[in-house]
Chain A
């Protein structure tokens, strides 16, 4: 190895392609998508419904069949047979739009969190309890929340629990799919602030998917615009929103700026 080692991006997606078979031929949901996210930064993908942005995230996690290369710190996330490597299940974590749909309503929050650590391979009960307490406090929740059921929490609190669950295994990358879209504006502001603090303190890398241009502009360092499965434009937040090059991006920006 030479001294001039180049640092690999935290997440590199190269020529990603997802096809869904259909009756009249297959449908290409993600078409030759490539981008790289530097460590500790936030990369946003904006697009309208059906543009392929959520499918891109699912493909990165190996939840849908895809072709192309996905690498974390220069290492492919897939092993032979294109199965996600077990270590990647810790490295990359996902936060959903509505965490409530992914929290079992009949189990206490503490049990739900403990279970996801056991599934990820953690055996020690003490480690699990300590880690859960640390994380739940870190997202700004009281420790007695752990004894309650998901139904006892507001949308913003549930999203904090969703973020806590994602943080349990000390991931490097969070894949955030519309994490604040279902929240009231005042709660959205709190969750966005929390995400920024966590990134700064833990050095996390974010892939942030949203249809909300203003939120993406606020939070993201770099932004890609997705339309019909392809990335039509990519650049820094300033470049894309202040000087959009593509017609579609200009149309998107204009539709929120006339407000």
Chain B
């Protein structure tokens, strides 16, 4: 692995996150390390409660300080020295340019009472206040075309709720991309979409990544998404990264019992029918039994 800092868009070292609960602080991320190189797609995969989405939010400094605490080191190219200790002003400057985020439900990141053009315009103006109205409009249309929208003029004047789920997700990706971030974090970007639309959005993300030389960190629970887009994959379970490596290698010959269980329990188009599915629990038990056997 190339470890030169110039190649790294994102470098995470020993990240720990505690959430405050009624029973006191609970450690939900337990010292993870991770990096994303320029032009690379890394998938952070795990099941609900694994800590993957909390990790994603912490990378943008989005965890509320009053009920969480974060330790460790998060460095983004073009961002502050350490996101964990940065001021709110530094974080605001970083978001959009150094890193941008697309979430699972596009409705939560689109303003329901603003037409698409205003949302794109505001975002573009924030970065480049000196552009003329016409230039801003052109930039917005270009961006919508870039995310594969064939009739950008119609989408520009639409309200979010007039668009289909697939179009909305494209618009939020366009919004995340107008400031040309070095790294795009996509949290379950296709989970809420129909399969045909999922395939389109994944193809588009892959194309944009190579065209714009952008890094991509995809947060997902879906191994088939990992297989189709990721160069490397980090498998997260109970706040820890249990396995991190080349995507093909991890999927085809997983080393950790948890990853083996996850891969085996995923139903794919080539899963053998008429046979029970293996579960994560059965793999972990098997491994424990094998280790017991080895000790005896």
A interface residue numbers (CB < 8 A to B):
48-49, 155, 184-190, 192-193, 196, 211-215, 217-219, 237, 241, 251-259
Contacts and interface: CB of A to CB of B under 8 A. Distances in A.
B273 A237 contact: yes
B195 A252 contact: yes
Contacts of B224: 214, 256, 259
A48 B221 contact: no
A188 B280 CA distance: 11
Which of A184, A188, A219, A254 gathers most chain B CB within 10 Å?
A: A184
27 contacts: A48-B195, A184-B47, A185-B47, A185-B262, A185-B267, A186-B261, A186-B262, A189-B266, A189-B278, A190-B277, A211-B195, A212-B195, A213-B195, A213-B269, A214-B267, A215-B267, A218-B273, A218-B277, A251-B196, A252-B195, A252-B196, A253-B269, A255-B196, A256-B195, A256-B224, A256-B269, A258-B199
A189 B225 contact: no
A48 B196 contact: yes
Contacts of B199: 254-256, 258
Residue among B47, B165, B195, B222 with the highest chain A CB neighbour number at 10 A: B195
B194 A185 contact: no
Contacts of A251: 196
B269 A255 contact: no
Nearest to B203: A258
Interface string B211-237: 000000000011111011000000000
Contacts of B277: 189-190, 192-193, 218
B102 to A, nearest CB: 20
Contacts of B262: 185-186
Given A192-B267, A213-B195, A259 B227 contact: yes
Interface residues of B, number: 30
B48 interface: yes
Contacts, number: 86
Contacts of A218: 267, 271, 273, 277
Given A185-B266, A256-B199, 10 more contacts: A48-B196, A184-B221, A186-B281, A189-B278, A211-B194, A253-B269, A255-B198, A255-B199, A256-B269, A257-B269
Nearest to B196: A255
A214 B265 contact: no
B48 A188 contact: no
B48 A185 contact: no
B193 to A, nearest CB: 9
A259 B267 CA distance: 12
A82 to B, nearest CB: 32
Nearest to A182: B48
A241 to B, nearest CB: 7
B119 interface: no
A188 B267 contact: yes
A20 B224 CA distance: 37
Contacts of A49: 165, 194
Contacts of B271: 214, 217-218
B6 interface: no
Contacts of B162: none
Contact of A189 (B222, B269, B279): B279
Nearest to A190: B279
B268 interface: yes
A112 to B, nearest CB: 24
A189 B196 contact: no
B76 to A, nearest CB: 30
Contact of A259 (B228, B273, B279): B228
B276 interface: yes
A193 B199 CA distance: 28
A251 to B, nearest CB: 6
Nearest to B46: A184
A241 B273 CA distance: 13
